[in-house]
Amino acid sequence: MTELNSPQTTAPPKMAAQGVNVFYGEKQAIRDVSLDVDMDNVTAFIGPSGCGKSTFLRTLNRMNDTVASARVEGLITLDGENIYDRSMDVVQLRARVGMVFQKPNPFPKSIYENVAYGPRIHGLASGKADMDQIVERSLKRAGLWEEVKDRLQDSGTALSGGQQQRLCIARAIAVDPEVILMDEPCSALDPIATAKIEELIHELRGRYAIVIVTHNMQQAARVSQRTAFFHLGTLVEYGETDQIFTAPRQERTKDYITGRYG
């Protein structure tokens, strides 16, 4: 199955899932999914509503732990280490595998504090000057610095939706993650703000392993190099984005990308 589900790559995967099942109570939402995420490519998860994209994404940083009825089976590794092992510190894991949500969710604090919060709780800054640098570097990487550098003490919630989403990306970046998971990060944004996030994803590629859930197939085609198509909780096909969109191997993938259902 691994051969079928993972595009060829020479580097070891940053994250690897093997035989993953997810249940909400009795109901199974993910069925026997195996897939690798590598460092150099943006990976997109696509598929019709309810197919399990978000559920599977959330297994990658144990976000499903916060749902009482959720149960995850199978193996998921980060640099070869089982993230569901008892010895795994989940707070550290979520710093290493950061997440950006559908709706921008800045803290009701200043722009500066939104970015400084994570580094502070993880003890990443040695003093004020160091923290200032982390905040500046994170905001620069998130493409927001020029717009906010003169008002770092303003509330993060006073920014536009697109700026808030870039602030959330800066917040994820500030703790120096290795992987960034994005769950439909543009679905609450207008086309201009969406284009900025897509540009940003291009710029961040290679520095972080990026996985994006999107219901927008054009977006998947624009931002990703690998695409995984999910249907009814199964991974139907995973390959190079170009191949998935121009020469899908599975009938169900073809039906979805040609708009036959979805």
Ligand X SMILES: Nc1ncnc2c1ncn2[C@@H]1O[C@H](COP(=O)(O)OP(=O)(O)OP(=O)(O)O)[C@@H](O)[C@H]1O
Dihedral pair phi/psi, residue 154, rounded to 5°:
-70, 160
Q: Based on CB atoms, which residue is closest to ligand X, 51 or 83?
A: 51
Q: Based on CB atoms, which residue is closest to ligand X, 54 or 164?
A: 54
Q: Which of 120, 215, 252, 254 binds ligand X (CB under 6 A)?
A: 215
Q: Which of 5, 34, 41, 55 binds ligand X (CB under 6 A)?
A: 55
CB of 110 to ligand X, least distance (A): 31
The footprint of ligand X on this chain (CB under 6 A) covers a number of residues equal to 13
Asked whether position 241 contacts ligand X by CB under 6 A, the answer is: no
**Three-state SS at 179:** strand
Tokens for 259, please give them.
């708009």
Q: Interface mask (CB under 6 A) for ligand X, residues 181-200, using x and -? A: --------------------
Asked whether position 224 contacts ligand X by CB under 6 A, the answer is: no
Asked whether position 6 contacts ligand X by CB under 6 A, the answer is: no
Asked whether position 201 contacts ligand X by CB under 6 A, the answer is: no
Site residues for ligand X, 23-52, by CB under 6 A, read: 24, 29, 47, 49-52
Between helix 161-174 and helix 128-141 the angle, nearest 10°, is 130
Q: Based on CB atoms, which residue is closest to ligand X, 45 or 112?
A: 45
Tokens for 59, please give them.
């297994």
Q: Which helix (H) or strand (E) holds 243?
A: helix 241-246
Q: Based on CB atoms, which residue is closest to ligand X, 53 or 196?
A: 53
Q: How far apart, in whole angstroms, are the C-alpha atoms of residue 236 and residue 232?
A: 9
The stretches of 45-190 forming alpha helices (DSSP H) are 53-59, 90-96, 111-121, 128-141, 145-148, 161-174
Q: How far apart, in whole angstroms, are the C-alpha atoms of residue 156 and residue 116?
A: 12
Asked whether position 71 contacts ligand X by CB under 6 A, the answer is: no
CB of 255 to ligand X, least distance (A): 16
The CA-based angle 90-207-248, given to 5 degrees, is 90
Q: Based on CB atoms, which residue is closest to ligand X, 139 or 210?
A: 210
> Chain-centre distance of CA 177, in angstroms?
11
Asked whether position 99 contacts ligand X by CB under 6 A, the answer is: no
Q: How far apart, in whole angstroms, are the C-alpha atoms of residue 80 and residue 76?
A: 9
Site residues for ligand X per CB under 6 A: 24, 29, 47, 49-55, 67, 69, 215
